Structure 1
């Protein structure tokens, strides 16, 4: 434990009990009887052993009597990071999963997303998805919105109002939409992207930032992709898109971009592969493409629920990690039917086991490794790991207080389990009823709240 970095701000609150998190070297680190202090800026001031209480209280100027004690069946874990979610698709989550990707987009997605020109409709949907994801323990979300600038700005405001850390993207697409009015010209997309970025940054939301968002290569001309690459580079912005989700899509990209060596090369030629880029899916990437991901610092968002639900493919995460490519988890609502990152954890484990069934020599992911993907791995994938992802001193306190034995919850404790077992039970069996408190940058929200504060 480390309390060597001293906060310059007063300590706002201190918790004592079990903390579980990941480090780059260790998928799961369990700190029992630990003390963690959060300063008035919402940053972690110290984390140390409980036996150091007196010294810490004198150093940081807090009263030992004010320390909040966790119960034996409680622990703190980092908030979960959803690296890929379509906020605009939340209205039909849990339905419409009877088609492969390209038909699914034209039949369900584009008609629904075209409705977000209506700001009242957008407000209703975006309020619900931010509330739900926070309640489910998602403290950071990387959102796709729609092509509509004003409703995309509204999503940013709602995330801010509820206190969620978010990257928000106005979708860009200038071709291949089945809905007549749900696409832009290249110039419109460029102009509106500039407006979206300028107006969102002008709000100076501390936790909400814009992300340049070409939908995916089949819906963007080469000219538009190149424009978006330049916008992201000139403004040092995050980038998000999709890649190699299903085989039909990969074939279409080859037809649309015959001069590109691969799907990855399409984005690379447009300067869209950077250390601040996250690409969703990647089920059918070649090893050569993964090498390019590593060389450019590009990340992958693993969305196993969606990959199963749309029968797209099974990403070999072990191979991604072996290539030293950054990787996090995504719910991919509504291709994925659940907005809970706990579901993403479970489906990621299932996907890895499917690969082991197919090839017994496959090295199955452990639950500890998937826990890291859902927390620190996600923050690394979004290039936010300087701010969040684990309980390092100086980082923002993004955290979940978990009660495995919550009254009326889904978990029955039969015996006295160690913290590792409690975490595994929560990841496999738990839900929002087990999440007693949600903190983002030290600010506590009510996971059962009906409105933003």
Structure 2
């Protein structure tokens, strides 16, 4: 792309070190480069710094406008949370003493029922969007609740703060211990249709609806079929849960005796597509993973939640060997941290635990996990044509990272190479090190005063 074939002007120019992933390299480090972002939020160029004068003439920017990254600063792609329950954020860090099905009925459903109150919803949803952005989540795939108005509010807040988001109104018509926290199938279809129509009518640039059956045990077969049709007719993403814990897997066998597996339930209801992301998958068989690959469906690995409520440990290496798309998720509030840095760390911990159990298991590297949190997440959400790494023409979703902030959590020592600095940030860093956040070229952190 050059200035002769576009009307876009340059809005931002950065000079320094850039780190991202490509299909061929888990971590690619671009030294002494210049990156330009046009006024449509797209990456216009990435070139060697020695060409900066000719670039300024070609693209019409002043060299004085260049944002120079410091010695211990770098830009990386924004992180992508492929599974997070915005509605559970109010009790994050608590209520981690029960297994999944008891946990849902004891803690989750009673809290989610409160979102009929829009003041309550506004308070929690504002905080979760701000918190995740501060922690570097530029894209979030959100579960809301069964309430249409509150789910629309979550979409409005994501747009207002500038986060890229898929927002799902939860659909469930059975097996809730809270009688008033479910819908009948016809009501659920009508409200899901209204939610999709209303959210699309807003024409938010980076916030879209996602069809959201909570999970097979809370949905009748007729509802699942309706949702499959809605997703197909509107060409929408689908999100749900699968094979999170063993008790749940056995329950699904009882509820859907005509299906060969948990995966087969979603397959028969037309919910496995190349825009589907299923959370957890701890207990999927190799046969089920083959179906995921064949349909183009993705898995969201949520290691904090998997361990915190004792659900299981996903063998990510096996999933990748089956060539199934996979991203990472925080799974707030089953996961106690809203930070994707934590999701990366727990992914490595789980992989190492699997190696302890089986020395033949090939442990994931931090480079591979970095890719899963960025490019892998964009692939899992079928957004990799828009975001996930620094490629000309993609949206500029990025974090400016400074590993040497005053009173920060990282100590540096002489001679440490950029990849060492990246590894230290991934293992030791926090939101203090994320000094700026950009989504589609718009700086969204630090937050504006208003």
Same fold (TM over 0.5): yes
The answer to whether the Cα contact below 8 Å between 1:5 and 1:393 also exists between their aligned partners in 2 is: no
Distance 1:328 1:7, change over 3 A: farther
Range moving further from structure 2, 404-413 or 58-67: 58-67
> Cα RMSD (Å) of the superposition?
1.3
- Find the aligned partners of 2:129 and 2:368 in 1 and give their Cα distance: 27
Q: Is the 1:7–1:45 contact (alpha carbons within 8 Å) kept by the matching residues of 2?
A: no
Structure 2: distance between partners of 1:204 and 1:399? 23
User: How is 1:361-380 mapped onto 2 (pairs within 5 angstroms)?
Assistant: 361-380=360-379
Q: Which residue of 2 aligns with 1:59?
A: 58
Deviation at 1:409, TM superposition (A): 1.0
- Give the equivalent residue in structure 1 for 2:280: 281
Maintained 8 Å contact 2:217/2:255: yes
Q: Tell me the SS of whatever aligns to 2:359.
A: coil
3-state DSSP of counterpart to 1:339: coil
| Aligned match of 1:163 | 162
Q: In 1, distance between residues paired with 2:36 and 2:261?
A: 49
- Secondary structure of residue in 2 paired with 1:98: coil
Structure 1 380/7 Cα, relative in aligned 2: closer, same or farther at 3 Å? farther
The gaps in structure 1 that reach 5 residues or longer are none
Distance 1:417 1:439 in 2: 27
Q: Distance in 2 between matches of 1:354 and 1:446?
A: 35
CA contact (8 A) 1:18 1:75 kept: yes
Q: Aligned residue pairs: how many?
A: 450
Q: Deviations over 1:302-323 (max 9, x none)?
A: 0000000010000000000000
The reply to whether residue 112 of structure 1 matches residue 124 of structure 2 is no
Q: Distance in 2 between matches of 1:135 and 1:169?
A: 22
Q: What displacement does 1:450 show?
A: 7.5
1:20 and 1:5 mapped to 2: Cα distance? 29
Q: Return the offset for 1:6.
A: 6.5
| Deviations, residues 73-113 of structure 1 (Å, cap 9, x unaligned) | 00000000000000000000000000000000000000000
SS at match of 2:291: helix
| Cα contact 1:7–1:394 (8 A) shared by 2 | no
Task: Find the counterpart in structure 1 of residue 347 from structure 2.
Answer: 348
CA positional deviation for 1:4? 11
* d(CA) in 2 for partners of 1:148, 1:233: 22
Q: Where does the alignment leave 5 or more consecutive residues of structure 2 unmatched?
A: none
1:225-272 Cα distance to aligned partner (Å, 9 max, x none): 000000000000000000000000000000000000000000000000
Distance of 2:442 and 2:417 partners within structure 1: 29
Aligned ranges 1:13-32 → 2 under 5 Å: 13-32=12-31
2:238 is matched with 239
Question: Hey, what's the Cα distance between the residues in 2 that align with 1:263 and 1:397?
Answer: 38
Name the structure 1 match of 2:86: 87
* Counterpart-to-counterpart distance in 2, 1:184 and 1:246: 25
Q: 1:122 maps to which residue?
A: 121
Q: Tell me whether 1:153 sits opposite 2:152 in the alignment.
A: yes
The alpha carbon displacement at 1:24 in A equals 1.0
Residues 397 and 440 of structure 2 are in contact (CA less than 8 Å); yes or no, is this contact kept in structure 1?
Answer: yes
2:442 maps to 1:443: yes
Question: What's 1:312 paired with?
Answer: 311
Offset of 1:7 from its aligned partner? 4.9
Aligned residue for 1:211, secondary structure, equals: strand
Task: Output aligned runs, 1:421-432, within 5 Å.
Answer: 421-432=420-431
CA distance, structure 1, for counterparts of residue 448 and residue 217 of structure 2 = 39
Q: Secondary structure at the match of 2:443?
A: strand
